[in-house]
Structure 1
């Protein structure tokens, strides 16, 4: 009768509707968006829900953010980028990054992929979405070019 967790994950890789989003995820995202308390937030799927894994303080850099993503596990993340436009205006854009490294387990990739859209809808205010399977696909140059 005991069901293996991996068997549960296999069953349609967690149909997106079955993934809960912890209230703290939405709360911390609102703080990033409105109060600008954080530079970034990293989220992970824990069992059947998305939870906050790490909050990057507003003084942290994009390199700090990149270094916080595990090399072989999937994550969702948001990053608040401050930049200057060609017209010399100070702006900010909130990026949603779906991190799915090639070296992560296939099952994990399926769960993150099937839950991404529902989770992203919970975070109102995302301006740019980026998917990355390798650090080069989310280099700072790419982030900057997508912001402009």
Structure 2
């Protein structure tokens, strides 16, 4: 790999995470203000920004319908469930959405910056990588959470 290629790769993997993005995640985690948060990579400013949030009453279908059909995104979803002992629990899922129909450049950009971004989100319980909706079906979350 040429030096030039190496520099470009390092640039792609070092996305800034603005305080607004971190604070929105904390609002989901601690205050339960959001059911989900969808993040988008802003290539021009080299940062991961909040694209959309969903209120506590929104469903999983609302969340999946908010993801673009042909572009990558990061998302966190606060999954509530009841255990076999009848206890109410909540787990936070990090979802790396990378549909097969998205641009190669977008897939590479999201893949190379994912670990650095996820590291900024302290409190994620599980990670799901999805290239189509079936890979992040509600049953997949339910199975992982139990």
TM-score when normalising by structure 1: 0.90
Matches within 5 A, 1:104-119: 104-119=102-117
SS at match of 1:60: coil
Shift, 1:50, TM fit: 0.3
Shift, 1:14, TM fit: 3.5
Q: Corresponding residue for 1:60?
A: 58
Provide Cα deviations, 1:75-127, integer angstroms capped at 9, x if missing partner. 00000010001121110000000000000001100000000000001010000
Deviating beyond 3 angstroms after TM superposition, the runs of 4 or more aligned structure 1 residues are none
Cα gap change, 1:70 to 1:116, in 2 (>3 Å): same
Structure 1: any 5+ residue segments left out of the alignment?
1-7
* RMSD over equivalenced CA pairs, Å: 1.5
Shift, 1:11, TM fit: 2.6
Equivalent pairs, count: 139
Q: Corresponding residue for 1:128?
A: 126
1:46 and 2:42 are equivalent in the alignment = yes
Shift, 1:13, TM fit: 7.2
Shift, 1:145, TM fit: 0.7
Shift, 1:15, TM fit: 3.6
CA contact (8 A) 1:13 1:107 kept: no
Structure 2: any 5+ residue segments left out of the alignment?
none
CA contact (8 A) 1:73 1:105 kept: yes
